Chains A and B, each alone.
Chain A
Amino acid sequence: MPLLEVKNITKQYEKDKKVLSGISFDVNGGEFISIIGPSGAGKSTLLRCINRMVDFSSGEILFHNTDIMSLSKKDLRKYRTQIGMIFQHYNLVSRLTVIENVLHGRLGYKTTLQGIMTRFTEEEKKEAFHLLEKLGMREHAYKRCDHLSGGQKQRVGIARALIQQPKILLCDEPIASLDPNSSKVIMDHLKNISQELRITCIVNLHQVDVAKHYSERIIGLNGGQIVYDGAPQELTTTNIHQIYGSEAENLILA
């Protein structure tokens, strides 16, 4: 049984303009999927439908066979703890320290009061340091996040998502604001996460070569529709043509 089943979802922000139309695919545990497609194709929207930061207009998404649109407010919180999210602009609380930001990933498990009073258990704190250690950020634990480099910020973002103990990691262009070296570090970490921890990664990417190199499966979006869904090895020039339109092809493959 698949972990996540996306069935025929559509999304329109405004009337008669479908941003997503008829999207269907299944996701298994531990898969590493890249979603590629031109700007405005609906990649970010699709990711946000999965954790219901955006409510889709029709269709259904099943997680462990539960329809996520039917979740109560409380169950939605519980559901979101299962889904980590990583952002292009890191989305950290920049005035707080690294360790505080990492522990934010536990808020979904806390009561309102525990959260506001920052009551975290010893284990949670240990886990936070352990994750920072693994991501090579241990020494920066007490630094304010606005004093970090982009690559370091993204690693804090990953730690915050991992401490949720998620089943799925949604990554919205995690390397779009990073230089090639930091990009490689981040992508390697994501790859490790999916292989060692068997956490499913769904990654929006703009670089076809990166997508081909890291993922087990590529989904190509164009105009809100899936135009490719398959192994990276089988992605042909014709497919790339379909995904990005004709002019872009030379640029991408050059």
Chain B
Amino acid sequence: MKIDVYRKKKRQFTIFALIVLCMTFISAKLTNFSFVQGISSVPEAFRWMGSNLLITRESFEKMPSILDKLIETIFLSITATTTASIIALLLALLGSQTTKVNGFFSTLSRFIASVFRNIPIVAWALILLLSFGQNALTGYFALFLATLGFLTRVFTETIDETSNSSVEALQSTGANYYQVVSKAVLPECSPQMISWILFMVETNIRSSTLVGILTGTGIGFAFDLYYKSMNYNVVSLITLSIVVVVISIELISNYIRRVIL
């Protein structure tokens, strides 16, 4: 017996695979990217890395100043994330179908979320650089705005998905808006929201390195400084320490997730 659904799915898959292949080929052509050349340069690149990126004893002398910058970066990311999450929660409450106050604010909130989310963080950093100049505030706002867009979106979805039924129940007991939010929406949604906040802290520590290069603050500044002075040993020490920080933050947040969920 032949089941039509399977045949249809197979055909769809084949067509999809062909399209991806075509697009890869066309893009490579348009951008003059040669696969052969790309692959053949890999060993050479590794050889360079092996000889230049060794962490030496002298580079360790820079450790205290690196740590300083690293801590600055971590705190900047955490502050940007937590402050953004508070505003995002308010916007999400206005935006969600379940808890919206009226249609106008709901649309406005969704609009803000989508604009902020769809402008890349590098673009934010460069735009803000013009008005705030090279300082930590620029980095803070770039992280803040991008985080705000993302968190508003996921918070809105979380509220819509998880708290519909309990909101209805509490409204029908005569509870008012604030009571419904604090007794139904927040208890139902907070674990998932905290999980998203932790995810954003991780992401922001990674992006703040990049933002720091542009705005001249934090670990990104240190990276840029040693990179431009061709002190590649220190550069690799910085990279390594960023990796260590990101992994530890990830471990910590996984632990928190396990406890709260």
Over the window 85-104 of chain A, the binary record of Cβ atoms lying under 8 Å from chain B Cβ atoms (1 yes, 0 no) is: 10101111111100000001
Q: For A157, list chain B residues within 8 Å (CB).
A: 169
Cβ of B178 < 8 Å from any Cβ of A? Answer: yes
Cβ of A53 < 8 Å from any Cβ of B? Answer: yes
Stretch from A59-67, A108-116, A186-194 that touches the partner:
A108-116
- Expressed in whole angstroms, the Cα–Cα distance for A90 and B174 within the complex equals 17
Instruction: Determine if B172 and A89 form an interchain contact, defined as CB atoms under 8 angstroms apart.
Output: no
Report if A116-B174 is in contact (Cβ < 8 Å); known contacts: A91-B166, A95-B187. Answer: no
Q: For B188, list chain A residues within 8 Å (CB).
A: 93-95
Contact-residue size bin, chain A (C-beta under 8 Å from the other chain)? 20 to 34
Cβ of A80 < 8 Å from any Cβ of B? Answer: yes
Cβ of A143 < 8 Å from any Cβ of B? Answer: no
Cβ of B176 < 8 Å from any Cβ of A? Answer: yes
- Expressed in whole angstroms, the Cα–Cα distance for A53 and B170 within the complex equals 11
- Expressed in whole angstroms, the Cα–Cα distance for A96 and B190 within the complex equals 12
Q: For A106, list chain B residues within 8 Å (CB).
A: 173
How far apart are A194's CB and chain B's nearest CB, in angstroms? 19
How far apart are B185's CB and chain A's nearest CB, in angstroms? 9
- Expressed in whole angstroms, the Cα–Cα distance for A112 and B181 within the complex equals 11
Report if A160-B166 is in contact (Cβ < 8 Å); known contacts: A107-B179, A115-B179. Answer: no
How far apart are B3's CB and chain A's nearest CB, in angstroms? 30
Instruction: Determine if B178 and A93 form an interchain contact, defined as CB atoms under 8 angstroms apart.
Output: no
How far apart are B90's CB and chain A's nearest CB, in angstroms? 16
Which chain B residue has the least Cβ–Cβ distance from A112? B178
- Expressed in whole angstroms, the Cα–Cα distance for A253 and B169 within the complex equals 34
Instruction: Determine if A93 and B184 form an interchain contact, defined as CB atoms under 8 angstroms apart.
Output: yes
Instruction: Determine if B176 and A77 form an interchain contact, defined as CB atoms under 8 angstroms apart.
Output: yes
Q: For A78, list chain B residues within 8 Å (CB).
A: 174
Cβ of B171 < 8 Å from any Cβ of A? Answer: yes
- Expressed in whole angstroms, the Cα–Cα distance for A110 and B183 within the complex equals 13
Cβ of A21 < 8 Å from any Cβ of B? Answer: no
How far apart are B102's CB and chain A's nearest CB, in angstroms? 14
Instruction: Determine if B174 and A164 form an interchain contact, defined as CB atoms under 8 angstroms apart.
Output: yes
Instruction: Determine if B173 and A92 form an interchain contact, defined as CB atoms under 8 angstroms apart.
Output: no
Cβ of A37 < 8 Å from any Cβ of B? Answer: no
Instruction: Determine if B169 and A81 form an interchain contact, defined as CB atoms under 8 angstroms apart.
Output: no
Instruction: Determine if A104 and B173 form an interchain contact, defined as CB atoms under 8 angstroms apart.
Output: yes
- Expressed in whole angstroms, the Cα–Cα distance for A83 and B173 within the complex equals 7
Instruction: Determine if B175 and A85 form an interchain contact, defined as CB atoms under 8 angstroms apart.
Output: no
Instruction: Determine if B171 and A53 form an interchain contact, defined as CB atoms under 8 angstroms apart.
Output: yes
- Expressed in whole angstroms, the Cα–Cα distance for A93 and B188 within the complex equals 7
How far apart are B94's CB and chain A's nearest CB, in angstroms? 18
Over the window 67-88 of chain A, the binary record of Cβ atoms lying under 8 Å from chain B Cβ atoms (1 yes, 0 no) is: 0000000001111110111010
How far apart are B17's CB and chain A's nearest CB, in angstroms? 42
Cβ of A10 < 8 Å from any Cβ of B? Answer: no
> Please, could you name 16 A-B residue pairs with CB atoms under 8 Å apart, sorted by A?
A51-B172, A76-B174, A80-B174, A81-B174, A91-B166, A92-B166, A93-B188, A94-B166, A104-B173, A104-B183, A104-B184, A105-B173, A110-B179, A112-B178, A116-B178, A164-B173
| Interface positions of A (Cβ within 8 A of B) | 51, 53, 76-81, 83-85, 87, 89-96, 104-110, 112, 115-116, 157, 160-161, 164
Name the 4 nearest CB pairs between A and B, nearest first: A108-B174, A107-B175, A80-B174, A91-B169
| Interface positions of B (Cβ within 8 A of A) | 165-166, 168-176, 178-179, 182-184, 187-188, 191
